[in-house]
Structure 1
Amino acid sequence: MEKQRTPKNIFVSGAIAPEKIAQSIANHASKTDIGGHSIFLGQVRADVKEEGTVQAINYTAYEEMALQQAFEIREAIFAKYPLTCMHIYHSLGEVKVGEICLFVFTSSKHRKAAMGACEELVERIKKELPIWGKEIIDNENSAWKINT
């Protein structure tokens, strides 16, 4: 009997702590059928704009829709790749330059499935989820970020 998957909350308030990433990796040590993990970490850059240098990004989302779409993407990726597990975490709220705002972690028996799934997952998250980032330039300037 196949386990029924349900939507999971992918959102984290603020930056994703390095300890959360380390603990997620450590939690998989007992899963001895895994032969490969692929991890993507999205970090806020200090882009230089006409108005000044980016100091942080304030992330917002249409949460209900984003969670449903993330669930559908997860299901499609699980159907396409022989994965053991998959984790997605995305920040909401302010994330400062140098901090992690996106953590995608895929695991499988073999590395190629984990790497292919991770790459496709990141691309689909960036393209399809209703998540927006407002770049904070300084106390007076901000601009909406365009995903590429």
Structure 2
Amino acid sequence: MSKKTVFIQGAISSEFIAQSIAKHQGKHSIGAHNIFLGQVRADVHGDTKVKAIEYTAYEEMANEKLDAIREKAFAKYDLVCMHIYHSLGVVEVGEVCLFVFVSATRRKQVYEATESIVNWIKEDVPIFGKELFENEESTWKVNTL
């Protein structure tokens, strides 16, 4: 398996997502795709609201963990292909920060694989988000499943 580019500076655009989908139309062994899009929420903490999240990562370790997730996903599920993209830098509320795209011959595999992959990313990959608030304060985000 070749190493894939995972990290994207800033938000993941709708155009990027659409292009990724379009690239798979020529792969005729695929019968199902599943997509997970993680979007920045306007959470409220106390009396202030999140306006963005600034993502950082320990990239070398994150890439190793993501490679391990890719290998585990292909070993556990009958996938044709899978892609993971995550933002670095500031991503505003309403913008996409995580894009997981899974393809297989049958739909059951893509549903199960997508949920596992997203959970493995949240549990194992050193990607960190600092919530930026409207009042200019910030705090580190804690991942939840």
1:47 — aligned with what? 43
Residue 139 of structure 1: CA displacement? 5.4
Q: TM-score, normalised by structure 2?
A: 0.96
Maintained 8 Å contact 1:62/1:131? yes
Q: How many residues align?
A: 144
Maintained 8 Å contact 2:48/2:135? no
1:88 — aligned with what? 84
Aligned-partner residue type, residue 69 of structure 2: I
| 1:23-102 equivalent positions in 2, closer than 5 A | 23-102=19-98
Maintained 8 Å contact 1:7/1:68? no
SS class of match (1:45): coil
1:7 — aligned with what? 3
Q: 1:96 and 1:82 mapped to 2: Cα distance?
A: 35
Q: 1:51 and 1:122 mapped to 2: Cα distance?
A: 30
The answer for unaligned runs of 5 or more in structure 1 is none
Q: TM-score, normalised by structure 1?
A: 0.94
Aligned-partner residue type, residue 59 of structure 1: Y
Q: 2:59 and 2:96 mapped to 1: Cα distance?
A: 19
Residue 67 of structure 1: CA displacement? 0.2
C-alpha change, 1:82 and 1:62, in structure 2 (3 Å) is same
1:135 — aligned with what? 131
Residue 51 of structure 1: CA displacement? 4.7
Q: 1:46 and 1:80 mapped to 2: Cα distance?
A: 35
Residue 50 of structure 1: CA displacement? 1.2
2:109 — aligned with what? 113
- Of all paired residues, the percent bearing the same amino acid is 58
Residue 115 of structure 1: CA displacement? 1.1
Runs (4+) off by over 3 Å = none
